[in-house]
């Protein structure tokens, strides 16, 4: 039987370690637990908030209603045809452990996404990406339960409307579905994506014949550990803002004023600017105030050293205002904010 607890602290359930309480809390390990939780919330007319590993949420208030932590396990090889490996994974599987598991099986595709915190079920929400690869490139479909009706849905990639740190689940489908499983298409044939400059540099000097998914994963982990603070040491949610995508003309104008501007050309002709550079240039690197601050090495990472969600959002808003003022560029918050 599903255990629903009252007034549960969420401080250990969010990687910013923000103080927040769930009015009611449960952990669901099966689809039947999930339907029981949905019936309970409907019966009590209470809203539902879904939580995975809490590595992309800003809890600036207590969560009323029922907080459901998704813990449905399972990694299953669905089919193998020629080089293609189709793998179905439960929403509650730890993302990095899944990546390591696929590497051990000899399946290529997810290695560049090593060491991203959180659970598999949350990965489609912002179409996680790193080091030249996005989830959408290896995604076949997902299974979800529509929260209001309890109806089961299977959605393919185009229905998920994936974009850069974006999907239908951040837009029209926000808070409407519980993702229960994801099906990936991987490859048993060596198929590495080594375009990202920092990754190329880390693998420089290694003979091509010695390259493996494990080697790429280790290199990605090495870069990440050198750049990003671990939430266990310094509570954070990774990048706090998306990298803003601006027109070619705006990027050119900015570059005339700021020749060091860091940006990446997009296939549509626009340019994605490094928000970390903009925040650093606006003078925020290492700034601290009211128990919250900007990381010393990576200005895109906001950190909590004993503050509140409200203080963190106030800092974020000051940063947005100063970047808009200095560069005329607006920064969009990346994690999901509950305020």
Could you give the maximum distance between any two Cα atoms of the chain, in Å?
Answer: 64
Q: Which of 90, 109, 121, 293 binds ligand FAD (CB under 6 A)?
A: 121
Q: In the complex, what is the shortest distance from the CB of residue 168 to ligand EPU, in angstroms, rounded to a whole number?
A: 19
Beta strand extents in 138-270 (DSSP E only): 139-146, 152-156, 177-187, 236-239, 245-246, 263-265
Contacts 24+ apart (CB under 8 A), 45-53: 48/147, 48/175, 48/178, 49/22, 49/175, 49/338, 50/178, 51/10, 51/13, 52/91, 52/92, 52/118, 52/119, 52/121, 52/122, 53/15, 53/94, 53/95, 53/117, 53/118, 53/119, 53/122
Residues 190-219 that bind ligand EPU (CB under 6 A): 198
Judged by CB under 6 A, how many residues of this single chain contact ligand EPU?
Answer: 19
Q: In the complex, what is the shortest distance from the CB of residue 179 to ligand FAD, in angstroms, rounded to a whole number?
A: 4
d(CA 322, CA 284): 9
Closest CB to ligand FAD among residues 153, 326 = 153
Residues 10-29 that bind ligand FAD (CB under 6 A): 15
Does 51 bind ligand FAD (CB under 6 A)? Our answer is yes
d(CA 32, CA 26): 13
Beta pairing partners, 163: 166
Q: Is 239 a catalytic residue?
A: yes
- The answer to whether residues 283 and 215 touch, using CB atoms and an 8 Å cutoff, is no
E strand or H helix at 130, and its extent?
strand 129-130
Residues 50-89 that bind ligand EPU (CB under 6 A): none
Q: Which of 136, 231, 334, 336 binds ligand EPU (CB under 6 A)?
A: 334
**Which span (70-78, 181-189, 234-242, 248-256) binds ligand EPU, by CB under 6 A?**
234-242
Does 124 bind ligand EPU (CB under 6 A)? Our answer is no
Q: Which of 28, 67, 122, 130 binds ligand EPU (CB under 6 A)?
A: 130
Does 262 bind ligand EPU (CB under 6 A)? Our answer is yes
Does 129 bind ligand FAD (CB under 6 A)? Our answer is yes
- Which candidate in 27, 85, 88, 165 is catalytic? 165
Closest CB to ligand FAD among residues 54, 263 = 54
Q: Is 165 a catalytic residue?
A: yes
**Which span (135-143, 173-181, 211-219, 238-246) binds ligand EPU, by CB under 6 A?**
238-246
Q: In the complex, what is the shortest distance from the CB of residue 273 to ligand EPU, in angstroms, rounded to a whole number?
A: 9
297: left (phi over 0), alpha (psi -120 to 50) or beta: alpha
Residue 185 binds what, of ligand FAD, ligand EPU, none (CB under 5 to 8 Å, by partner type)? none
- The answer to whether residues 124 and 70 touch, using CB atoms and an 8 Å cutoff, is no
**Please, which residues have CB within 8 angstroms of residue 306's CB and are 6 or more apart in sequence?**
291
Q: Which of 4, 18, 20, 54 binds ligand FAD (CB under 6 A)?
A: 54
**Phi/psi at 211 (nearest 5 deg)?**
-75, 135
Quote the radius of gyration of the chain (alpha carbons, Å).
21
Closest CB to ligand EPU among residues 128, 147 = 128
- Which candidate in 55, 217, 239, 299 is catalytic? 239
DSSP state of 163: B
Does 178 bind ligand FAD (CB under 6 A)? Our answer is yes
Distances (CA, A) of 190 to 26, 98, 284, 291: 41, 18, 42, 47
Beta pairing partners, 66: 24, 48
- Site residues, ligand EPU (CB under 6 A): 130-131, 198, 227-228, 238-239, 242-243, 262, 274, 276-277, 280, 285, 298-300, 334
Give catalytic residues, as residue numbers: 165, 239, 334
- Site residues, ligand FAD (CB under 6 A): 15, 50-57, 70, 91, 116-119, 121-123, 125-126, 128-130, 177-179, 228, 231, 236-238, 336
């Amino acid at each position: 039987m599903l255990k629903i607890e009252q007034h549960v602290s969420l401080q250990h359930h969010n990687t910013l370690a923000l103080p927040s309480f769930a009015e009611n809390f449960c952990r669901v390990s099966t689809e039947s637990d999930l339907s029981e939780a949905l019936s309970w919330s409907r019966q009590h007319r209470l809203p539902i908030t879904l939580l995975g590993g809490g590595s992309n949420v800003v809890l600036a208030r207590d969560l009323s209603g029922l907080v459901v932590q998704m813990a449905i396990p399972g990694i299953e090889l669905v089919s193998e045809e020629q080089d293609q490996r189709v793998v179905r994974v439960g929403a509650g599987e730890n993302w990095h452990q899944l990546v390591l598991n696929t590497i051990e099986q000899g399946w290529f595709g997810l290695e560049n996404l090593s060491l991203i915190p959180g659970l598999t079920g949350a990965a489609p929400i912002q179409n996680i990406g790193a080091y030249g690869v996005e989830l959408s490139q290896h995604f076949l479909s997902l299974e979800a339960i529509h929260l209001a009706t309890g109806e089961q849905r299977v959605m393919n990639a185009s229905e998920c409307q994936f974009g850069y740190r974006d999907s239908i689940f951040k837009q029209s489908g926000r808070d409407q579905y519980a993702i229960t499983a994801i099906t990936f298409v991987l490859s048993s044939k060596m198929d590495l994506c080594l375009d990202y400059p920092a990754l190329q540099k880390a693998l420089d000097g290694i003979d091509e014949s010695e390259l493996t998914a494990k080697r790429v994963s280790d290199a990605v982990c090495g870069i990440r550990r050198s750049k990003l603070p671990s939430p266990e040491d310094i509570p954070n949610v990774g990048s706090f803002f998306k990298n803003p995508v601006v027109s070619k003309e705006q990027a050119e104008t900015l570059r005339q004023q700021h020749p060091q501007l860091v940006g990446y050309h997009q296939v549509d002709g626009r340019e994605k600017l490094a928000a970390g550079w903009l925040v650093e240039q606006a003078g925020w690197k290492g700034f601290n105030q009211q128990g919250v601050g900007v990381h010393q090495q990576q200005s895109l990472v906001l950190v909590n050293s004993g503050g509140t969600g409200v203080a963190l959002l106030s800092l974020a808003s000051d940063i947005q205002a100063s970047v808009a003022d200095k560069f005329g560029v607006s920064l969009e918050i990346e994690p999901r904010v509950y305020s």
